[in-house]
Structure 1
Amino acid sequence: MEAASWNVGYPIFGARFLDEDTLLVAGGGGEGNHGIPNKLTALQIDFSRKNKVIKKFRELQLPPNSDSPMSLDTNGEIILMGCNEGSEKIKKGKNCHLRKYDYIDQHLVFSKSINLFTDFSNDINNYTKCCYISDDSSIGCISNSNEKNPQLIIINTSNNQLKLKYKIIEKTNNIIKDLHISPDGKTIVYITSSTFKAISTVSGKILISKNSSALSTSSQTLIFAKIRFINNNEFIIGCNINNKGGISIVHYSILDQLLISNKLISKKIKSITSMDFWPNIIIKVYQDIKNPEKTITKSEIDINNSLISIAGNNYSVILLKFKNFKNLFEFKKTHNFVITKVTFSPTGQYLASVSAANTIHVIKLPSKFITSNQTQIKSKNLNTFLSIILSLLFVLILAILIQYLINKKLIQHLIDIPTIKSELKKRR
């Protein structure tokens, strides 16, 4: 299995692929830099370059009086980054902690910044812990690091905006550990260490709220660590088991409010530091019976062949197949210090992990672990249509053949058999 590592020169706290071959990372040494700059860096991945698989492509250095970026997400066009201003500005109540960049013509372009945690404008210990953008660029979502007053902010990011849409206060006074946006952008899920909630981005209302005890067994207590949507209705939670009992994954349905599965993943790993999900997207081509000349293309997630990656406290990365959460491979000690992020490339070809030890590690996954996300499959409608056509052709050919045999009087004796039998009965 091919892999490559590279030292970017600063601690990395956020990472996400911009496209299939470009990895975006962010981090730094914090305010004052301490000789370590704060940066946003785009890296090109190319395993055909044997001596330089990972290569710096674009880079922006942040002002020296700003803090280090602590969270990062992108959908390939818009980049959201959580990064505090310097302490002097924060003390004056001026902390534009959320920054927006655009990826235009393969360049990183600063767009704007905003302060959305207005309750903590002068709190130097409060920062943007989680930061996500929807696939369609319509919705963003962030959460803060404050344990006494945890907040989740839903943002309108359409049409180049950064505008507050809803503010949710987590009343349990437990820090929001992770959050995620559904593929259609209509739902957000977030977790504390012991609760999870689903919220509508349309209305801002809570759709479901559950405690970890509802998902735990009698022999274990789950401590929620990371969460990811797998489709618009279902999500997975990466959990630490109490008393260092290992890690597990919980699979849950929002619509049915049902625990689908809870499986132990490892007893050796004691806690999860990062988790990502790669959806295996299949392109299906439908042909309508009523209008067979037209085709409809739809994308669907092949859940069973999708992948999960988990980074553990032992600096290893586990690759799982979603079906039965089967362990495909464990990459041991990929870094020398805590892994802060794992992320898949869009087609699942690459799995990258980054660390506070300044290092990037990229694995090229073998084809046996992934299936193409551009597969075309004939629809049932098309198969049904073809079956009907073939059946009609068969009946038509059979009718022509029978008529031909009758005209040639080749089967006249078969036609006359019922008449002969009737005459015999009369004679008896």
Structure 2
Amino acid sequence: MRTQHTPHFLTAFPVYCAAFLSPTRLVLGGGGGAAKTGIKNKLRVYDVADNRTITLVDELQLDPGDDAPMSIAVDLETGTLACGVNSPEDKMKAGENQNCRVFSFKEQKLGLLQTCGTLVATELDDFQRVTVLSPNGKLLVAAGTTSLQLLSFPSLAPVAPVINTDKEIYDVTFSQNSIVVATTDNLLVYALPSEDKESPSKNKKKGKQKAAALSELELLQTVDSPAAVSGSTGSTFRAARFHPENSEILYTISNTVPGRSRTRKAAPRQAYVCKWNTKTWAADKVRKVGDKGLTCFDVSADGNLLAFGSSDCSVGIMDASTLSPQVTILKAHEFPPTTVKFNSTSRLLVSASADNSVRIISVPDSTEKSSWGMVLLIIITFLIALLAFFMAQQMQQ
């Protein structure tokens, strides 16, 4: 299926995360990182026009020494956004890394509201790679390389003790009553606390007593990669997303791990998309999507489409039900995409990269595909009926 898309090149602005504040308002996070490259670390807000042009609305430059925003999540109802931004190295060494930050967007301006630290102070190379809000906007997950903190939003008060994992965390996704943590080796399924335990403000205890009163999240399930993906060489999960309207459906992307051998060439890394039944935790559908690893992933708000970015610098869109490919944009960026994100109406998709570029993609109307399918079905049915009629006529003669 053909679609229209427009690239935009942003001078000295490598982009690492993106989200939509509204159907036509886009926020980007990026910059040169903690190294003294001369490239400032910023958040930018753009308006996206019907013809996919973008206009800068506001820019918030972070303090000197702060790292680039590496992950972002937006509460559409309040226009509030959470970001992962490491503090300067001297503050990190002192145990004062305010890596989890909440910003508001009011009167066309970005402003800092709240900060907290969720990462281990001694891990100077760690960063908040995952920032995810719950469907009701009341809970926030801030995850580093091997640790995860569940927070109340927007207060950033802890809701449960820190979860530490043996393997690297790549993604987290919420349903109404659980979260799934995608690590390199497996999916960890945790039950969310009941509604009356979500707000720490209801707890009258103070300081250490209050922290000790937090209940650990219950681990419900550990799910390994399906055999169809891992094979004999193994694979790593890179992203996970619940269907936005059906928590019995979960989507994951996985990259295979090529086996090593001195006598033969290593097999190419392959990428797969899986559709899971969360009642049985069986992979109902598995589809290979390429011979290069996938780097980012998203599900449209209506649950009809999946989008992914690949290390071959392409961007793809798939049908969420059948996992059949709908759109492929080759060479969408010069470097592999760092993020793909649908807007809230599922009509736009943005992809971005550290090559200082974003691409605005007009999402094809899914009803167009289904209507053509119905027309084709009617035509085939008519031809079969016509053929049967002629065969009956021949038999009568």
TM-score by length of 1: 0.73
* Structure 1 counterpart of 2:287: 263
Partner of residue 272 from structure 1, selected from 294, 299, 307: 294
* Structure 1 counterpart of 2:31: 28
* CA offsets 1:289-338 (integer angstroms, 9 cap, x no match): xxxxxxxxxxxxxx5xx000110001000110112111111100111112
Whether the 8 Å contact between 1:155 and 1:166 is mirrored in structure 2 is: yes
Partner of residue 42 from structure 2, selected from 28, 39, 48: 39
**Does 2:264 match 1:240?**
no
* Structure 1 counterpart of 2:151: 155
Shift of 1:371: 9.1
Change (3 A) 1:369 1:55: farther
Moved more, 245-254 or 86-95: 245-254
* Structure 2 counterpart of 1:350: 348
Shift of 1:216: 4.3
* CA offsets 1:205-235 (integer angstroms, 9 cap, x no match): 1121122256646566332111111132321
4+ long deviations beyond 4 Å? 213-220, 368-372
Aligned amino acid, residue 54 of structure 1: I
Q: Give 1:124-273 correspondences, 5 Å limit.
A: 124-145=124-145, 150-157=146-153, 160-171=154-165, 173-182=166-175, 184=176, 186-202=177-193, 204-212=217-225, 216=229, 218=231, 221-230=234-243, 231-243=246-258, 244-266=268-290, 268=291, 270-273=292-295
Change (3 A) 1:127 1:194: same
Change (3 A) 1:40 1:91: same
Shift of 1:28: 0.9
Aligned amino acid, residue 101 of structure 2: R
SS of the residue corresponding to residue 323 of structure 1 reads coil
Partner of residue 6 from structure 1, selected from 2, 8, 20: 8
* Structure 1 counterpart of 2:377: none
Distance 1:334 1:259 in 2: 30
* Structure 1 counterpart of 2:321: 323
Q: Give 1:94-109 correspondences, 5 Å limit.
A: 94-109=96-111
SS of the residue corresponding to residue 113 of structure 1 reads strand
Shift of 1:44: 0.9
Shift of 1:121: 1.8
Unaligned runs of 5+ in 2: 195-216, 259-267, 371-397
Aligned amino acid, residue 116 of structure 1: T
Moved more, 325-334 or 224-233: 224-233
Distance 2:254 2:167 in 1: 16
* CA offsets 1:61-117 (integer angstroms, 9 cap, x no match): 101121111111112222110001101111111111110012334432210111122
* CA offsets 1:234-293 (integer angstroms, 9 cap, x no match): 211101133225211111122233322222223x4x10100100142xxxxxxxxxxxxx
Change (3 A) 1:169 1:336: same
TM-score by length of 2: 0.78
Whether the 8 Å contact between 2:82 and 2:102 is mirrored in structure 1 is: yes
Whether the 8 Å contact between 2:294 and 2:309 is mirrored in structure 1 is: yes
Aligned amino acid, residue 19 of structure 1: S
Aligned amino acid, residue 251 of structure 1: K
SS of the residue corresponding to residue 96 of structure 1 reads coil
- Which fold has the larger relative contact order, with Cα–Cα distance below 8 Å and residues 6 or more apart in sequence? 2
CA RMSD of aligned residues (A): 2.2
> Larger radius of gyration, structure 1 or 2?
1
Distance 1:152 1:167 in 2: 9
* CA offsets 1:128-153 (integer angstroms, 9 cap, x no match): 111111232200001112xxxx1111
Q: Give 1:291-330 correspondences, 5 Å limit.
A: 306-330=304-328
Aligned amino acid, residue 257 of structure 2: N
Aligned amino acid, residue 166 of structure 1: A
Distance 2:368 2:351 in 1: 18
Number of matched pairs: 332
Unaligned runs of 5+ in 1: 281-302, 373-428
